[in-house]
Structure 1
Amino acid sequence: MSLLDVYVILAYYNNAVIHPSRKNKITDQEFDNNYVKNKIMEISNYHSSALHWNLKEINDTLPSLIDIVQKTYNRLEEELKVSFHNSRGIQRFKSQFQKGVADFMATSRNKAKEAQNREMQTLQPKEFLSTSTKATITIENYLGGKYYFTTDEISIVDKNLFLIEGKHSSNSKLPSIGDIKDGLLKMVLYCNLTDVKIDDTDFTPKPVLKLTSTNISEKISSQSSTSEIEVFKSSAGFNVNNVEIIDRLFAEAKANNFEVIIEGV
């Protein structure tokens, strides 16, 4: 979130009701609205970056918030006669955090690196790769903080590094909206990269969102001509909703300097 300049509010549920059909489950959870509203007011008067806010919340707010969360969940358990599975997890989280913020952040960073390594070894069902060039990306912010990602494919052409995020559908002509949004989130990150290097060699990043499907047979790019795009949409038999999604995606890509590829596989 800090990379996206998003101010994060750490909040908790303070109200819920018993689920009408599922035993020992709750539903209609509600945040502590007064707490959230006060935090929003703090942010409106905060004059530093989202990164500094988020670090402040981890250091100053989270320790006391953990106790509030535990008391609130204990109250809900008693009032609703349910047992929360995450109560022990909260205690473990608190114990880990009490060892020190630096240790906590180091542990979180190590978990992110482990997740990055696992992702490198895994081909997800929602990816259809034309190469085996999956790669790790480590993004460092201006304070030295590091964020660990993987890209589904890379392609190097001269000094251009194409960072390709792939989303695949075997049932529809386009991947789901959720998958597309997930891909766009990566585009936001990749479009804002500077000083990109591979083994100390400089490259220009070229973000690409590649949408593949087994239900179409052709290929088009947001960088194709208007006439080519119109022919593709017509020949592929997209419905009105699909066409609207493609038009919006291509407009977004042109406005923000990334490429969208739609390809049948």
Structure 2
Amino acid sequence: MTVAYGGGPAVYVYDTNVPGIGIARAANGYLSNYGWAGWQASASYHNASNIARAGVGLVTGSFTAGAQVAVALVKTSAQITAGGTVTGGQVIYAYPATSYNAAYEFPNLAVKYVTTPVQIIPLTCTTLDVNVPMGTFKTTDFPSVGSLSPNPANFTVQFLNCPAGTAVSGTQAGVVHTIQYRIDPTNGTLATNVAALSGSPSATGVGIQLFNSAGAVFPLSTFATLSGYNSTSGGDYSIPMTARYYRTGTITAGAANTTMTLTVSYQ
């Protein structure tokens, strides 16, 4: 994996000790007789790198040398789950050179560029699979379209170990401000907010509807805000809900199961 910086060549991204986090470096060398060399890629991670070269030819007399260094952490996987602390240490060892001939290099003027440890905190909650026993019902329990199963099935959606953090001054970084969640029926809907059943064979003429703790229909495939979330303290949160069968048409007996997916958004 490579990234580009400053219009220069692609810079390789090296793995760090934290899974999913890489590090990229680039440097721009300077010699007063030649000016800036331009941003260049560097050698292997944490090893010596004489990338502060600036021109070709022998320099006589006194001169000024220096370097600019850019270091960036790069996300290298779709999801960072474990977190950890990226080890600090030397990332670039730069020294002036007037050519690629070792006779004209000046390692005694080397400058070592080091980073301090960086803590990576996954800003996500832990969610658990939920199995909801719906119960067994007769077709006569649903006298008409729109009828609900008589006994609601209670369950809880849990958000555990939700992140907390301190915002970076002047930015939105460093902390989750709002958590939203959405429940999507795997097999689509039979009617508004009524999840279709899955499996074959299965009952027909019924679907499953969700309700919040106040007894109102829970909108499917629509984000809701996790009420009470505190971005300073994080913590555990529970959403009590119920599920009921909902008649949508002519009923035939059979298994009446379905699956739904919980999606969480952090902002």
TM-score (norm 1): 0.20
Say which structure is richer in helix. Answer: 1
Say which structure is richer in strand. Answer: 2
TM-score (norm 2): 0.20
Structure with the greater alpha carbon radius of gyration: 2
